[in-house]
A = this chain, B = another copy of it.
């Protein structure tokens, strides 16, 4: 058990605070012989990187990753590959403006972990949220990039499907559009209205929530495990561990509560000699085990608690006070949660791939 590790056979341990010298992670259990370079990882980090549009925080972090261990030139090909030993990844913190945070050293920002960290530990690194900062998620994306390498034949993609109260039109879903707009929206027609909405929020110093959908194609039937090693259970755990996430659902999710059994059942036929489900309300999981259909997970991200409007709070000494965020501001943290959701999906699947073949060969 480790409070800063995720996964069992494919296992990531992250460390670091927002304003310390660096953040990083150790990826343990990776199969050997897999080609891996810093560029493979950097490509995914660049998607999560802050400051890429006016809709995310203006902190400027190059997020340059270094591989410190666990790779070596293959004796035959000379290509840099994993060796099966722990892969240590480090990202230096560059743009850490500690002075911006002095006002929160003693007061608790509502909606943040300031109060609870201090209740638990008696102290906290308050600079930029310390360990509770979203900066930690860069490590997830880096480790997730390694996990993807283990998942030959599996395609993992995510998209933003709701911003504030504004949901996409699912009939317009086009995966090719996701990389073409600053919101990872699969529906190109909503981009303009989201832009206007977020510009207004940004100018008002406000923020909003969002919903992210993550889909994995190509997962074979049989991954996952009964009862407490369920694939959907581990996906729920993975997504809920992301900062600011307040809900997770699989397939039809909460809508399934309103279905009848007839509506909900995904019937099966033989199509071209293979079993095919005629619908996917299950979201690709039955009894905790993958069915071979697309894995579909959605999660809700609450609005950033760092807003310019003063909110009522207290300080360490029990004095009532008001607090508002100064410095950089992220009107919709849900946007940057898109690559993080992909990474968590990859981490869960890589782990379950290894767990499955451990037991079942």
Q: Are A121 and B360 in contact (CB under 8 A)?
A: yes
Other A-B pairs, 10, CB within 8 Å; known A117-B226, A232-B240: A31-B360, A112-B286, A115-B291, A117-B289, A256-B300, A257-B302, A261-B309, A264-B305, A269-B314, A275-B314
Q: Are A312 and B120 in contact (CB under 8 A)?
A: no
Copies of this subunit: 4
Q: Are A121 and B83 in contact (CB under 8 A)?
A: yes
Q: Are B3 and A225 in contact (CB under 8 A)?
A: yes
Q: Are B28 and A246 in contact (CB under 8 A)?
A: no
* A318 with B120, Cβ < 8 A, contacts A3-B225, A4-B227, A14-B227 known: no
Q: Are A68 and B221 in contact (CB under 8 A)?
A: no
Bound form: Cα–Cα A5–B26 in Å: 10
Bound form: Cα–Cα A268–B69 in Å: 30
Q: Write out, one digit per residue, whether chain A residues 262-296 have a CB within 8 A of any chain B CB (1) or not (0).
A: 11111111100101011001110111111110000
Nearest CB of B to A209, in Å: 4
Q: Are B355 and A209 in contact (CB under 8 A)?
A: no
Q: Which of B13, B283, B318 contacts A13 (CB 8 A)?
A: B13
Bound form: Cα–Cα A14–B68 in Å: 12
Nearest CB of B to A235, in Å: 8
Q: List 5 A-B contacts (CB under 8 A).
A: A4-B26, A136-B227, A246-B256, A268-B314, A270-B320
Q: Are A116 and B290 in contact (CB under 8 A)?
A: yes
Q: Which 3 A-B pairs have the closest CB atoms?
A: A113-B287, A358-B358, A247-B249
Binds B, one of A37-45, A47-55, A70-78, A174-182: A70-78
Q: Are A318 and B165 in contact (CB under 8 A)?
A: no
Bound form: Cα–Cα A318–B260 in Å: 27
Bound form: Cα–Cα A356–B357 in Å: 10
Interface residues of A in 289-328 (CB under 8 A from B): 289-292, 300-307, 309, 311-314, 316, 318-320
* A85 with B17, Cβ < 8 A, contacts A112-B287, A121-B32, A268-B314 known: yes
In the complex, what residues of B have CB within 8 A of residue A282's CB?
111
Q: How large is the interface on A (under 10, 10 to 19, 20 to 34, 35 or more residues)?
A: 35 or more
Interface residues of A in 217-257 (CB under 8 A from B): 221-230, 232-237, 239-241, 243, 246-257
Q: Are A360 and B259 in contact (CB under 8 A)?
A: no
Q: Are A162 and B257 in contact (CB under 8 A)?
A: yes
In the complex, what residues of B have CB within 8 A of residue A309's CB?
261-262
Q: Are B246 and A334 in contact (CB under 8 A)?
A: no
Bound form: Cα–Cα A68–B18 in Å: 11
Q: Which of B223, B228, B237, B248 contacts A4 (CB 8 A)?
A: B228
In the complex, what residues of B have CB within 8 A of residue A338's CB?
none
Indicate whether A15 reaches chain B with its CB closer than 8 angstroms: yes
Q: Are B360 and A120 in contact (CB under 8 A)?
A: yes
* A1 with B5, Cβ < 8 A, contacts A113-B289, A264-B302, A307-B265 known: no
In the complex, what residues of B have CB within 8 A of residue A255's CB?
300
